[in-house]
Structure 1
Amino acid sequence: MTDNEYERVVTSTSDITEENIAKIAELFPDVVTEVEKTDGMATVIDFDVLKAKLGDVAEGMRERYQFTWPGKRAAKAEARIPIDKTMRPVLERSKDWDVTQNLYIEGDNLDALKILRETYAGKVKLIYIDPPYNTGHDFIYKDDFRKTAAEGRAENGDFDDEGARLVTNLETNGRFHSDWCSMIYPRLLLARDLLTDDGVIFISIDDGEQANLRKICDEVFGSGNFVANLIWKSTPGSNTGTMIKTVTETVMTYCKNISSVQFETTRCLIESATPLSDL
């Protein structure tokens, strides 16, 4: 990549909120209006007009079926917020850069998903993720951090390059499950955008957050796009519970649009160390 090509690289991601407004405007042009903000006029959705078109809606304190947790609204917003970042190739550490069809990306996976979305939205056929299982030690999350890094280090703890404190999510944390849900939710929203219409996502998970992951995936992908919980045989005793050692883990499977997907077999067993590409 030449210096001129580097200069043409877009260094920020798109605003997904604006994209969503544009999609609604295509369906209902009359629900779009303008409001004055501190930095000028902005195009927004008139929800009173939209509700009149949709009829009965669930709002306020009205009882409804829903899955929520403290921080869900912020997690949903996190997926939409644009970032002023981009990816640059490290040619000196690359092999066969001009002909390879593979990419190895280093960096925050949420940022990477936002950047990948700019080019690969609707183009990825299969996604496999192995998120932290939230056992109390393997899930590290960013805590709100308003002190300087030097002040924080004096109080012990690890920090990322932006000065955010990295905290082990112990079960004594009052937000033990909420923090995990807030971590996975925006990443799954962006992962769905990457999938082709017949795309499939496989997610490894253990018992700790399996129930929560199922509810989040039902919301993100739609319960009708659930395929199966594939049970695979792991190393005997690798999952040590407080009372029983188990020998299996789960790969939760969803489609982008199940009506566009056709599986060749109805029965599938994933053995340990069997790559998903071999299924």
Structure 2
Amino acid sequence: MDSITEGSQSPVISAPDQNLEQQLLSLAERSGVDGHQLVSQLRSYFRSDVEQYALQWMGKKAAKQCALSSTRAKLEADHQASINWLTTQNVFVEGDNLEALKLLKKSYHQAVKMIYIDPPYNTGQEFTYQDKFSENLRDYLAHTNQVLTQGEWLTNEIEASGRYHSNWLSMIYPRLEVAKHLLRLDGVILVHIDENESHHLRLVMNEIYGEENFLGEICWDKGNPKGDAIAIAYQHESILVYARDISIFKQQCRLVKPKDNAEKMLNKARQLCGKIGKQIIPPDLKQANSKYALDLNLEDYRQTYELGHACRFQAMGACTKLPVWRRSGIQQT
């Protein structure tokens, strides 16, 4: 048995060296697997005693393994239900979404510009999904060391709600992980969620896509608030938006929000600018001349539409240059 002298460190298994790490990253990339996630998991096995900031739940390790595992499913073409099979640029896949994502991962690796996910919400009731992570109350209490296998209670304060969050997190984690491989480096992913899991989803997205790639949270007003007499009614849901790589996204993309009535304003500006250089008798002057019998020679009041200074407002002593009517022959000062 090796002796340990005072001041020495306990022997530990070293994490993969840099050369091996690069080989793993290269191999994983060719296989359509997230190499950084794989290396991170290997490190967790070798350094299980190191505490790190992370969201933990019962079944997380199984969810990670599920994301890395291959699928035995296969896609079958449905020519009868298809339109323009040979020329279409669209694909509609029907089936379990996790299996479908895994099947598409190789052919569409880093090929998708945007992914929009509207996952099943966690209503707090029994949550079941076609995965291996559904857990009944007895199993959850046993796994969390709250009861013995014989059913004997080990604590007076039983916590059971965590199994609902655990099941939902175990469902969503592998799907978000696999979806990441489909995104282009300048791509984005949007996930629609309600208040029950929005806080957990944010932490999961930070872990998979990186907190630095968070673009923002969109509040969607659903128009029908829900709640009861003792809580605040929720009238909105959230859409979390993440970039695959925010540095590349900023270089190649931009977020634009059209202003209200912007197109109407632009059309009006085009209409006005189209009159520049044209001469016209002001319509209100023609109307007044006729109504009050002024007997004016309207040709003397013909005006030219030109670009001039109209001080509609002033800021720091500067005038805004706008198209205005001017009497023909009058010099602009």
- Compute the TM-score of the two structures, normalised by the length of structure 1: 0.63
Q: Quick one: higher RCO (CA 8 Å, sep 6+), 1 or 2?
A: 1
> Any idea what the Cα deviations from partners look like across 1:133-180, whole Å, max 9, x if unmatched?
1013595324759xxxxxxxxxxxxxxxxxxxxxxxxx9665100000
Check whether the contact 2:125–2:164 (CA below 8 A) recurs between aligned residues.
no
Measure the CA separation in 1 of the matches of 2:46 and 2:206. 18
Check whether the contact 1:225–1:256 (CA below 8 A) recurs between aligned residues.
yes
Measure the CA separation in 1 of the matches of 2:237 and 2:117. 14
Check whether the contact 1:58–1:64 (CA below 8 A) recurs between aligned residues.
no
Shift in CA distance, 125/82, structure 1 to aligned 2, threshold 3 Å: same
Measure the CA separation in 1 of the matches of 2:178 and 2:209. 11
Kindly provide the amino acid, as one letter, of the partner of residue 224 in structure 1.
E
* Paired position in structure 1 for 2:293: none
Measure the CA separation in 1 of the matches of 2:212 and 2:259. 20
Measure the CA separation in 2 of the matches of 1:233 and 1:257. 28
Give structure 2 stretches of 5+ with no counterpart. Answer: 1-18, 28-38, 134-158, 261-333
* Paired position in structure 1 for 2:174: 186
Q: 1:264 aligns with which of 252, 255, 262?
A: 255
Check whether the contact 1:232–1:250 (CA below 8 A) recurs between aligned residues.
yes
Kindly provide the amino acid, as one letter, of the partner of residue 263 in structure 1.
R
* Paired position in structure 2 for 1:85: 73
Give the 3-state SS of the residue equivalent to 2:185 in structure 1: strand
Measure the CA separation in 2 of the matches of 1:113 and 1:69. 24
Check whether the contact 1:230–1:268 (CA below 8 A) recurs between aligned residues.
no
Give the 3-state SS of the residue equivalent to 1:227 in structure 2: strand
* Paired position in structure 2 for 1:69: 57
CA RMSD of aligned residues (A): 3.4
Measure the CA separation in 2 of the matches of 1:268 and 1:224. 28
Shift in CA distance, 266/68, structure 1 to aligned 2, threshold 3 Å: farther
Give the 3-state SS of the residue equivalent to 1:188 in structure 2: helix
* Paired position in structure 2 for 1:149: none
Kindly provide the amino acid, as one letter, of the partner of residue 193 in structure 1.
H
Shift in CA distance, 227/58, structure 1 to aligned 2, threshold 3 Å: farther
- Compute the TM-score of the two structures, normalised by the length of structure 2: 0.53
* Paired position in structure 1 for 2:22: 24
Cα deviation, residue 252, structure 1: 0.2
> Any idea what the Cα deviations from partners look like across 1:36-78, whole Å, max 9, x if unmatched?
xxxxxxxxxxx9xx98xxxxx9933333212111100100000
Q: Using the aligned pairs only, state the percent identity.
A: 39
* Paired position in structure 1 for 2:103: 115
Measure the CA separation in 1 of the matches of 2:212 and 2:116. 20
Kindly provide the amino acid, as one letter, of the partner of residue 85 in structure 1.
A
* Paired position in structure 2 for 1:100: 88
> Any idea what the Cα deviations from partners look like across 1:89-132, whole Å, max 9, x if unmatched?
11111222222222221111000000000200100000000001
Does residue 197 of structure 1 match 2:195?
no
Measure the CA separation in 2 of the matches of 1:138 and 1:83. 27
Measure the CA separation in 1 of the matches of 2:257 and 2:120. 29
Aligned length: 199
Q: 5 Å matches for 1:131-210?
A: 131-136=119-124, 139-142=127-130, 175-210=163-198
